[in-house]
Each structure stands twice: as structure tokens, then as C-alpha cells.
Structure 1
Amino acid sequence: MISFKDVITGNRDAWNASAALHRKSATWQHLVENVIRDDFSCLDSTLTAALEQVGLSQKSVVQLGCNNGREALSLFALGATQVVGVDQSSEFLAQARELAALSPHSPVFIEADIHNLPSDLDGRFDVALITIGVLNWMPDMRVFFTHVAKVLKPGGVLLVYETHPFLEILNPGSVDPWRVEHSYFQTEPFIETSAIVYEGEGAEIEHPSYWHIHTLGEVLTGIAKADFRLIRFTEFPHSNREEAYAVYEDPRTQVPMCFILIAENRSGV
């Protein structure tokens, strides 16, 4: 069985090896052209509404798993005064800093494994944001959310916008995309040997990556064990994943495709 440390470092190396492909995409060019705007945002309406409910005006926000910084830069349009993005991929952080240099805003980007965050982040933020894909790279929800809680002020708010684990049992690229292909309760991660891309198939790379399925029970238990108080949990029938998953957006047979989770940090309250 692969160790916890090897999973984390393996995923870091796989993301670094995949970064150049993202820079060649049309999405990257769109970001370069648009981050110059003061009101730039790449956030969809669901996440925007949830962040407006939480309220970012005059607040400090940390995004854990910030990738190329596009979402972190979007938080300023909602009133955040301080934004810090954390990611362990140096190559994607280089892209984040490149976008920030074009932007009128000044986020700070920190290279760190979320399980080993710098101590000067402890108890510093009003809001912690986690978006699609972050949870599945993490081996253990209880351990992960314990580290998330550390960076929040007492009473600080965690907002998670993630893909629904229901989708992990399906394969949109299958001849029958509605056929169940994987167990919802799978405990071992999927091991991928191709580049991590958002559209199509990535070429083979040297570094394998590890994608974990976490049930909703694991996620909610991890939240509770980290001493968060659940404020809101809402499931949605639309996709926030790759375009291929739009095949499941059928108004006649709606299935859960993503969720918003909002919780309050009770530590020190």
C-alpha cells in the first residue's frame, strides 16, 4: 500500500508535469486577456451566490488548492481585501503569479502541502475556500479538515464547492454513461499515469497521480471531527466538472452533481 506521504508528493509531481499543457489551452489565453479587469471573475453563479451569502467584504480569504490562481483573483471582485492562495505545485503557482502580475490586485501565493502549512497562517483568515477537485487528491478527510480549521479565525467560515461523489461511480466517456462502473465505497485510490488535464486525454507522464473517492459521510464526518459547525449543505443537479459530465444534466432524471458546504470554525469560539 502506498504511503500517505508518497500520495501527496506523487500528486504534486504529476501536477507539475501537467502544468505546461494548461498554459497551451484556450482557457489560459482567456485568463491572460481578462485578469487585467478590476472586476474579473471566473466563478460560476452557484459559487458566486454562496460567497455573497458568506460575505467577503473587508475580509481575509485563503484558498487551499488554488491551482493557477484564477479563482483567488476572482475573490477581489466580491470585496475581499486580502487573498492568499496555497498550492503545492510550483509550476501552477508560477502561472498564478504571472496572472497576478497582470491583475490590478495583489494576492499572495504560497507553495505548501496543505498538511504542512506555514505556522504564520494559523488563525489568520475569515474565510477558507475549497473548490472542485481538491478533496479527491487528499487521502484522509479527517486529517485534511483538521489542517483547514487551523488557518481560520474563531468563528471563521469554510466554504466548499465540490463535485458530488455520486459522479465517481459513473464514466461519461462510456458507451453507456449511466452504467455504474465503480463502487461508491471504494477505499483504494484510482492511479492515473497520464497528464492531468480538464478536457480530453492527457499524454503519459513519468509521475502517477492518486484520485480518492470520498463518500459524503466521510466528508461530513471530517468536518465534524475538525470541530466545524455545519451551516449549510446544498446539492445541485448541474455539473461543475469537465464538459463531458454535462451528459448527466437531464432535467427529467436529475442526479446530484455538485454541492456547496458552508461551516463555521468552532475552535476557540
Structure 2
Amino acid sequence: MEMSTKENAIASNREAWNDSARHHKDSPDWQPLLCAVEQTDFSCLDETLTELLIQVGVEGKDVVQLGCNNGRESLSLFALGARHVVGVDQSGAFLEQARELATRSPHAPQFIEADVHHLPVELHARFDVALITIGVLNWMPDIGEFFHHMARTLKPGGALVVYETHPFLEMLDPEASDPFRLVTSYFRQEPFVQHQPIVYEGKVEQPAATSYWFVHTLGDLFSAAIAAGLQINHFKEYPHSNREERYDRYERQEAQMPMCFTWVVVKG
């Protein structure tokens, strides 16, 4: 993908996410979340990610979450003992929500509006741990460039923790008449294009900025990390879904597919 095309996709995705924020704040989950973050031990992280972060070691560490959305996961890192947490996202509208949640929290994260391709220099070589959760990687048109910039945030010996949807799922459409039929190639090159607002459940039939969802194979991800000078020290696949509820139908099958994975890479 040419540079101008990549930049256009990044800008359009930013606009789409800014539009999406109001739909998420209108959901029934928002008010309970405002109350929940008041607790010192608040965490929305599931058991899989919690156990991995404990294993990697977050206590007393400086942590950055890239693609932090409304900050709920960044706030959750304090329950694991993080010393300082910075959440980075390119959507100013979602960061407004993150800062609102932070005003209710006993903790004091920092939230920074930035595209990962243009990170402020003060974030370079600053963090012991970086975190990426579901969906972040697929908004990136050039995964090699993304890992190059991400790696710059880590101190030497710092670890990137990834908890993501398995790319195998991109081959399926859970809302198709036959949700188990493969509908697209694992090696798909062109992005999925959406013209409706980005929401986690259902669809909102309103015009919105075009969003671009890029497919990256596991080979793409591993090659990008290695090229960025990162060493792989953990990788595990799971049969459970960490994606939208409509993907739950793929769990507990006799011929079970991989649905998500955890991955830790370390800066040399």
C-alpha cells in the first residue's frame, strides 16, 4: 500500500472512531463502568490476560497501552500494581471518555492523543511493558511500520504483551447463512471496508467515515516483530473468543479452531 493510501486509511479510521465514541457512550454499559472505576481494584481484564500480565510482571512498572480506547483497560493495570500508566489512542473522542473515567478513579493515568506512527518523542524508551489488546493490529495498514514505532516506546529489556483475536477468524462471517463456511482467504491482501459506524454489537444504520480493517497473518506479525528487533518469548493460542458475542458460536466445537492468542516479545 502506497504511503498516501496508508495515510488516508489511518486518517479515515481516526474519523470513524471519533464518530463511534458517542454510540459507545450511549450503550447500557457506560453508567455501570463510571461507578466500577471508583474501586481501587477495578479491572475489566479477563483471566487469560490477567494471568499473563502477572507472569510478565507489571507491579511497580511503567506501562503504556497502545490503542487504549476509553481507557478502561489502562485503568485496570493499576489493580496489578502498575506504577504509572499511559494510554495512547488517536481518537480524541474516546480519550475524552478515558479522562472522564479517570476523574472517577483513585488512580492517575495519563492519556495522550497520538497516532502510533507519530508518537511524541517523550514516549521513546520510557516503558517496561507495552500492552495491545483486541483489534488494534487490524487497524494498521503496515504492520512492519507499526512494530517499528511501537518498539521505540520500550526500554531495553521491555516487553510487549499482545492479547488479540486469531487471524483465522477473518476467514469466517458469523452472520452468514452458513457461518462455518470459509468466505475469504487467510492471505487476503485488501482491507475489509465498512461505511457504518464502528460498534461492538449489531449495526447502526447511519452514515459514517469509511473504516479499513486490515488482515495480518501470524507470519506477518512474527516477521514484523523480528524485523523491529524484538525477541519472541511467549506465544499461546486459545479456543475461547475475546471478540464480539456473535463469534461465541465458534466455541466448543468438535473441530475447534483457534480463536485468540497471547504473545510476548521483548526488546533486546
Partner of 1:169: 171
* Structure 1 contact 141–222 (Cα < 8 Å) conserved: yes
SS at 2:184 equivalent: coil
1:251 deviates by: 4.4
Which sits farther off after the overlay, 172-181 or 202-211? 202-211
Query: In the alignment, which residue of structure 2 is the partner of 1:38?
Result: 40
Structure 2 unaligned spans of 5+: none
User: In structure 2, how many angstroms separate the alpha carbons of the residues matched to 1:107 and 1:205?
Assistant: 34
Which of 17, 23, 31 is residue 25 of structure 2 equivalent to?
23
Report the counterpart of residue 57 of structure 1 in structure 2: 59
Contact 2:6-2:141 within 8 A present in 1 as well:
yes
What's the RMSD between the two structures over aligned residues?
A: 0.9
Identity level (%): 58
Distance in 1 (alpha carbons) for counterparts of 2:211 and 2:153: 27
Query: Relative to structure 2, which stretch is displaced further, 16-25 or 199-208?
Result: 199-208
Task: Note the C-alpha offset of 1:140.
Answer: 1.2
CA distance, structure 2, for counterparts of residue 134 and residue 101 of structure 1: 25
TM-score (norm 2): 0.98
Paired position in structure 2 for 1:247: 249
Whether the 8 Å contact between 1:14 and 1:205 is mirrored in structure 2 is: no
CA distance in 2, matches of 1:49, 1:167: 24
Deviations 1:197-252 (A, max 9, x none): 00001223231000000011000101100000000110000000000000000242
Corresponding residue for residue 193 of structure 2: 191
Instruction: Provide the residue aligned with 1:73 in structure 2.
Output: 75
Is 2:135 aligned against 1:160? no
Deviation at 1:46, TM superposition (A): 0.4
**Candidates 114, 117, 122, aligned match of 1:115:** 117
The superposition leaves residues 22-68 of structure 1 with CA deviations (integer Å, 9 ceiling, x where unpaired) of 00112212211200000000000000011010011100000000000
Q: Please say which of residues 174-183 and 104-113 is displaced more in the overlay.
A: 174-183
Q: Which amino acid aligns with 1:228?
A: L
Number of residues paired by the alignment?
266
Aligned partner of 2:200: which letter? Y
Q: Deviations over 1:114-172 (max 9, x none)?
A: 00000001000000000000000001111100111000000000000000000000011
Q: Which runs of 5+ in 1 are unaligned?
A: none
Segments of 4+ in structure 1 off by > 3 A? none
Q: 1:92 aligns to what?
A: 94
